[in-house]
Structure 1
């Protein structure tokens, strides 16, 4: 419903990035991969894939960036790596980045995310 609301406001679906941290990331996987309209990307931060997903054709080539802390005590990094492996098995080429941090974000990660978003929304910048 949130995606449809943004489209109704005049934002093309191809310019919408779905992002989520921790449990929000588990929801983001489902929402983005199943979305019937093409999206600009999926950003999964310190999260996991909670259940299997059948991706929509519209997002079969969705750009995905996964970021995880190597010392995360809440969501072990292995779960982030498992999500990346699952996406690869589904035909995606997720970018995976690990950072020396716990269940949080860090400045280096924010910079990487900024570059990734810029590449998705302003590819000629």
Structure 2
């Protein structure tokens, strides 16, 4: 789904690589990858999804808020089986005019069709975060670590 503007695919790959390096640094310090949750809002959600779904070690979870995922088709051959069952929380504002909700829902539908462990939430808000959403994120994280 097009956002009506140019997407910097090379920048997404570069940012995801940097995030992957950061995760590996934390693992080298003794933090198990299963204790790491990636989270991002808007473009940060793109990076969290891209890095998380291609990372070769199991992660605790992925949170992608008000986002889209322009690299999914290119990544299908690079998706890591390590994170097939990793819980993914997606949320979007119904009134979002920056990243339209249809772009986020298309990502959810594509990942759901690939049988990822994914949940969807939408809220009466624009391109932002709301209290109800924060509560749902809190529950999501608590469920992961309980």
Same fold (TM over 0.5): yes
Q: Structure 2 length normalisation: TM-score?
A: 0.81
Structure 2 counterpart of 1:37, from 38, 54, 57: 57
Tell me the residue number matched to 2:41. 21
Check whether the contact 2:93–2:101 (CA below 8 A) recurs between aligned residues. Answer: yes
The residue number in structure 2 matching 1:95 is: 119
Gaps of 5+ in 2: 1-20
State how far apart, in whole Å, the 2-side matches of 1:98 and 1:68 are. Answer: 5
Q: How does 1:47-66 map to 2 (within 5 A)?
A: 47-52=67-72, 53-54=75-76, 55-66=79-90
Deviations 1:54-74 (A, max 9, x none): 320111111100010000010
Aligned length: 122
Query: What is the Cα-based RMSD across aligned positions, in Å?
Result: 0.9
Write the distance in 2 (CA, Å) between the matches of 1:16 and 1:62.
11
> Which residue matches 2:22?
2
Q: In 2, Cα distance between the equivalents of 1:98 and 1:8?
A: 37
Partner of 2:134: 110
Higher helix share: 2
Unmatched tracts of structure 1, length 5 or more: none
**What TM-score, normalized by structure 1, do the two folds share?**
0.94
Q: Runs ≥4 in structure 1, deviation > 4 angstroms?
A: none
Q: How many Å apart are 1:120 and its aligned residue? A: 0.8
Q: Is the 8 A contact 2:53 2:80 kept in 1?
A: yes
